[in-house]
């Protein structure tokens, strides 16, 4: 499988202005620390924050384009991947960057809480550290609990996002699955969305049911992944999912692994629907 390109990830020239601006702001904060009348503690925290965002912003697309694309055959079900089938995995780069960035910011907040020059700054640092720790633990729990991506089985598919997992969605309950972009009220990156026929027919927790309903009301899809998240071109995913949705006689391939050959033979189409 090929690697992604900046064009595949919808990264344009103006993207690089964002981390560049944050980097300049961070350097400016560090440079102002020696100025009289400025709070060096606040400037230090701002400098670390802005420079961290800048570095992560620069390295994310570089690492992402070096990540190998491709589906995986899951032969041994586990707690993280509960069914045998074909997995379209998500990128690990975002996960690594989130863990690294959260760790750096958490350490910075902890230092501010311990060594802040005023009580107010120490309290703010403690609050920031508590929030960073809570987000880190929540993110880590999601990573450990399930492998993220779209798992296709002969019975249906399982959609595991960073924040929720659907369990098994039978093929008969899939109303629509396709690529899309939003341009009417707002602009969104190219994405792959899934609508189900009736949420009530699925075995979902109350929290997951509420989240999928919110997604539908806000974005028009119960589940969705942006193009930079999945390790397979969106048009290929659309073609694969709809093929097995419409051809039940071929679903045995998903449990035998021969679906990988079919996926490799699909040529991506150009159109992404609105």
- pLDDT per residue of the chain (274 residues) written in tens, 0 to 9: 567 778 777 788 889 999 999 999 999 988 888 886 666 767 877 888 889 889 999 998 999 888 888 888 988 777 667 788 999 988 888 777 877 877 887 887 887 788 777 788 788 888 888 888 887 777 777 667 667 899 999 999 999 887 778 888 999 999 999 998 866 555 567 899 999 999 988 888 888 899 999 999 988 899 999 888 888 888 899 999 999 999 999 999 998 888 888 888 775 443 333 3
- Residue 43 to residue 40: CA distance in whole angstroms: 5
Whether 222 and 58 have beta carbons less than 8 Å apart is answered as no
Q: CATH number of 13-68+93-145: 3.30.365, 1.20.1260, 2.60.40, 1.10.357?
A: 1.20.1260
All structural domains of the chain with their residue ranges: 13-68+93-145, 149-265
Q: Which residues contact 89 (CB under 8 A, 6 or more apart)?
A: 71, 72, 147, 148, 149, 230, 231
Contact by Cβ (8 Å): 148, 162: yes
Three-class secondary structure assignment of 76-110: CCCCCCCCCEEEEEECCHHHHHHHHHHHHHHHHHH
Phi then psi dihedrals of residue 156, to 5 deg: 165, -160
Tens-place pLDDT, residues 20-31 = 999 999 999 888
């Amino acid at each position: 499988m090929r690697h992604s390109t900046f064009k595949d990830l919808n990264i344009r020239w103006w993207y690089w202005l964002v981390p560049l601006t944050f980097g300049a702001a961070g350097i400016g904060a560090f440079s102002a620390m020696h100025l009289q009348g400025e709070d060096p503690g606040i400037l230090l925290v701002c400098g670390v924050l802005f420079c961290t965002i800048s570095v992560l912003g620069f390295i994310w697309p570089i690492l992402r384009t070096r990540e190998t694309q491709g589906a995986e055959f899951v032969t041994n079900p586990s707690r993280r991947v509960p069914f045998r089938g074909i997995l379209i995995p998500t990128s690990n780069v975002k996960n690594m960057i989130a863990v690294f960035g959260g760790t750096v910011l958490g350490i910075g907040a902890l230092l501010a809480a311990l060594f802040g020059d005023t009580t107010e700054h120490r309290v703010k640092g403690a609050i920031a550290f508590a929030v960073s720790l809570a987000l880190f633990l929540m993110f880590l729990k999601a990573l450990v609990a399930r492998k993220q991506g779209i798992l296709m089985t002969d019975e249906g598919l399982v959609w595991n996002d960073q924040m929720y997992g659907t369990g098994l969605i039978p093929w008969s309950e899939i109303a629509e699955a396709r690529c899309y972009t939003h341009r009417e009220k707002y602009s969104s990156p190219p994405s792959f969305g899934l609508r189900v026929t009736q949420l009530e027919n699925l075995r979902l927790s109350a929290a997951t049911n509420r989240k999928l309903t919110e997604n539908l009301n806000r974005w028009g899809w119960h589940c969705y992944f942006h193009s930079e998240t999945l390790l397979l071109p969106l048009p290929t995913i659309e073609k694969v999912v709809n093929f097995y949705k419409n051809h039940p006689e071929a679903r045995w391939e998903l449990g035998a692994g021969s679906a990988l050959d079919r996926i490799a033979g699909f040529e991506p189409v150009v159109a992404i629907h609105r």
